[in-house]
Every structure is written in structure tokens, then in C-alpha cells.
């Protein structure tokens, strides 16, 4: 594997690459190029302005791609292929229904609508409604998603699927739509599936499990109460996450539930460490990831702060085993975080 410092530098500074991102919009970080190097998967910002000055570059030499830091050769690079993008669904590329992220992670936003955008309480890092409908599909029919997933999975059966969504309503928060989509996909193909949503009542978690969802992401984003209202103004209090995590772990099993903590939004080091412990002690996979500014942003994440956070987390080595197999979703992809390289 890469050492965690190298991976963090890639995640924060970006990479100069000869290819364009395969995933260009939706929930979560966008504008990144996915690749594998030294048994690590990396999804590094590539179209952001700061990436143009990155010391890291992917260069083609003698018929192969290699990752360099300046003149230093880091390792041979594997770039993912997505031939299924050529498949058309209603005249539209299957890649616009289900994108390829990282190396083998399929991702789709079942709907781009979000009540937090409508209410003026959008999460500061979110771009889910940007470029809609010019280049993205606002609402995707379950049968169209299922068709795209099928052709993508038949191309490469190492792939797994993540379902994302804006928060369409304050009650089921997307669980009903996920259930419909998951059942359509299960009727076509047996692919590991992950879904991401806000805290919901236990009945909706049980519905997701019975629909064929394998793993769940309930993303708290930050544990720092000083910045929480500014970062995720429309989302619930932390107590709602703790309750939903416990219910989800009871239903899906330990280490089959995950949560992101973003680093680089003004949080304290201590809040990340305490958040990591709060999750790990409940059997929730702590996915600690540097904040990636969207492609059109002018700011960049502070690498020094990110390194300080990871150095503090290094003190937890040996306390928690996060090498367990996560069937689908971000902890299986690992592209946006260096937590596996740090603790695995």
C-alpha cells in the first residue's frame, strides 16, 4: 500500500492526469480521477485549479502509466475502464445513470432533489443540484438505473454499487426510493449494494435491509459542534446519528454501517478523534476523509491540518480492526480516505 502521508498528499494536493474524471456530479466528492497504485485505490482531485500545481502526475511511459512525485517514480498505475458508458439508455450514456468512481465503485444519485437546498440550508460541501439538468439527470427511473447497473456489472464483476440521493423529504429521507431501486436491481443482478441517507426511524432501516441493501452509510460529516450549524445547517443533531447508527448496526450487523467525517472545514483535531471513537465503539466504520473542494471552487484544504488529524488518529492503531471486509460503498472503495493506509 501507499504510506498514508503520500495518499493524503494526493487527496489534498491532487494529481495531474492524462484522463478526465469518469464521475462528474452527484452526491459526495466530484472532479477526481480514480486509479490504483501499490495496492491502494486513490480518487484524487484533478480538475480543480490547485491540482494543476500538484507535484504528483500520472505519466505514460513505455506503454504503461506511472505515478510520479516530481522526478520520483512512486509506482505503476492502473486506470479503470468503463466501456459500459457506450451503452445507451433512452439515447443517453449508461454512465450518466451510473458512474464509475475510484477503480471499481459504481455510483448513482437516484434523485438530485434536496429539501436542504430548497430551504437555503444546503451543506457547504454539496454539489448535488449543480449542472442540473444541463448535464445531469434530475430524477432517474428505477428500471433505467437497474439496466445501467447490469451492463456495468457484467463488464466487471468486482464492482459494487453505491446509491446516493439528495434528501427528498423529511420523513423517509429517500429510503422508499432506495427500496424501489434496490428491488429492481436485485431482480436483474446480484451486486453488493450500499445506500447513503440521513438518520431515519428504524422501520425505514428495516425496509432498506429487506430490499437487498448490504451496507449503509449515515454520514455525520463533523462532530465539532462549533462548526456543525455552518457546515450542515439542515441536518439533524449528533444524537440522531448515534441512535440511527445503533439501530442500523443492530439490523445490518457490526462494521456494515459507515459514516464520513470530513477534515478541513474548520474542525478541531480532538473532535475527529472523539468522533472516530464514538463510531468505532458502536461497530460503525469511521471513514475519515479530507474535504475536496468542488471543481469550480477557489479554496483548497490545508494539508498541514489534515496530517495533524491523521497523526492523532495514528495513536489508535491496534485498538480497532478496520480491515474487515465492507461489501459495498466508500469503505470498500477507500479512494477518498487514507484511513485504511493508516490503520489497516
> Chain-centre distance of CA 12, in angstroms?
15
Q: Contact at 8 Å (CB) between 291 and 262?
A: yes
Task: Enumerate long-range contacts of 236-245, CB under 8 Å, 24 or more apart.
Answer: 236/198, 236/199, 240/199, 241/199, 242/278, 242/282, 243/199, 244/199, 244/200, 244/205, 244/218, 245/218, 245/279, 245/282, 245/284
* Cell 478541513, residue located: 264
* C-alpha cell at position 171: 420523513
Q: What is the mean pLDDT of residues 166-182?
A: 97
Give the length of the chain: 344
Judging by DSSP bridges, how do beta strands 105-109 and 88-89 pair with one another? unpaired
User: Using 50, 70 and 90 to split pLDDT, how confident is the model at 132?
Assistant: low
> Chain-centre distance of CA 136, in angstroms?
18
Residue 15 CA: distances (Å) to CA of 11, 55, 67, 126: 8, 7, 9, 22
Residue 135 has pLDDT above 60, yes or no: no
Q: Contact at 8 Å (CB) between 48 and 57?
A: no
User: Using 50, 70 and 90 to split pLDDT, how confident is the model at 131?
Assistant: low
Buried b (16+ CB within 10 A) or exposed e, 287-326: bbbbbbbbbeeeebbebebbbebbeebeebeeebebeeeb
**Please, which residues have CB within 8 angstroms of residue 152's CB and are 6 or more apart in sequence?**
82, 84, 94, 98, 100, 106, 159
Q: Contact at 8 Å (CB) between 142 and 178?
A: no
Q: What is the mean pLDDT of residues 166-178?
A: 97
pTM recorded for the entire structure: 0.96
Rounded Cα distance, 94 and 173, in Å: 26
Does domain 4-343 fall under CATH 3.20.20.70? My reply is yes
Q: What is the mean pLDDT of residues 132-158?
A: 89
Per-residue DSSP letter, 136: S
158 phi and psi angles, rounded to 5 deg: -85, -5
For the chain, which residues make up each domain, given as ranges?
Answer: 4-343
Per-residue DSSP letter, 309: H
Residue 279 has, within 13 A of its CA and on its CB side, a CA count of: 28
> Which of 130-139, 309-318, 332-341 is least confident?
130-139
With CA atoms as reference, report the closest residue to 58 among 81, 36, 77: 77
Rounded Cα distance, 66 and 156, in Å: 23
CB atoms within 10 A of CB 211: 20
Model confidence pLDDT, tens digit, residues 231-263: 999 999 999 999 999 999 999 999 999 999 999
Model confidence pLDDT, tens digit, residues 5-46: 999 999 999 999 999 999 877 777 999 999 999 999 999 999
Q: Output the DSSP codes for 148-161.
A: HHHHHHHH-TT-EE
Amino acid at each position: 500500500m501507499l504510506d498514508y502521508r503520500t495518499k493524503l498528499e494526493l487527496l489534498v494536493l491532487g494529481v495531474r492526469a492524462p484522463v478526465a474524471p469518469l464521475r462528474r456530479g452527484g452526491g459526495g466528492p466530484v472532479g477526481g480521477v480514480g486509479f490504483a497504485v501499490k495496492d491502494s485505490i486513490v480518487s484524487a482531485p484533478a480538475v480543480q485549479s490547485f491540482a494543476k500545481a500538484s507535484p504528483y502526475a500520472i505519466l505514460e511511459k513505455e506503454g504503461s502509466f506511472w505515478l510520479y512525485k516530481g522526478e520520483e517514480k512512486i509506482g505503476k498505475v492502473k486506470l479503470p475502464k468503463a466501456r459500459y458508458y457506450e451503452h445507451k439508455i433512452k439515447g443517453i450514456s449508461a454512465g450518466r445513470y451510473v458512474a464509475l468512481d475510484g477503480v471499481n465503485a459504481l455510483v448513482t444519485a437516484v434523485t438530485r432533489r434536496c429539501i436542504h437546498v430548497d430551504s437555503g440550508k444546503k451543506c457547504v460541501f454539496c454539489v448535488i443540484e449543480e449542472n442540473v439538468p444541463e448535464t445531469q439527470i434530475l430524477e432517474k427511473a428505477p428500471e433505467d438505473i437497474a439496466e445501467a447497473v447490469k451492463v456495468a456489472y457484467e463488464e466487471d464483476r468486482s464492482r459494487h454499487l453505491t446509491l446516493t440521493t439528495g434528501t427528498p423529504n423529511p420523513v423517509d429521507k429517500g429510503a422508499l426510493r432506495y427500496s424501489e431501486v434496490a428491488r429492481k436491481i436485485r431482480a436483474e443482478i446480484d451486486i453488493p449494494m450500499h445506500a447513503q441517507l440521513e438518520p431515519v426511524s428504524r422501520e425505514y432501516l428495516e425496509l432498506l435491509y429487506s430490499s437487498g441493501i448490504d451496507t449503509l452509510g449515515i454520514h455525520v460529516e463533523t462532530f465539532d459542534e462549533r462548526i456543525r450549524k455552518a457546515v450542515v445547517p439542515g441536518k439533524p443533531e449528533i444524537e440522531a446519528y448515534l441512535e440511527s447508527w445503533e439501530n442500523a448496526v443492530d439490523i445490518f450487523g457490526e462494521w456494515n454501517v459507515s459514516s464520513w467525517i470530513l477534515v478541513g472545514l474548520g474542525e478541531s483535531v480532538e473532535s475527529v478523534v472523539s468522533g472516530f471513537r464514538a463510531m468505532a465503539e458502536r461497530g460503525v466504520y469511521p471513514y475519515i476523509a479530507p474535504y475536496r473542494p468542488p471543481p469550480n471552487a477557489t479554496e483548497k484544504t490545508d494539508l498541514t491540518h489534515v496530517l495533524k488529524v491523521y497523526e492523532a488518529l495514528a495513536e489508535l492503531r491496534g485498538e480497532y480492526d478496520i480491515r474487515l471486509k465492507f461489501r459495498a460503498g466508500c469503505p470498500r472503495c477507500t479512494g477518498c480516505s487514507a484511513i485504511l493506509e493508516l490503520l489497516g
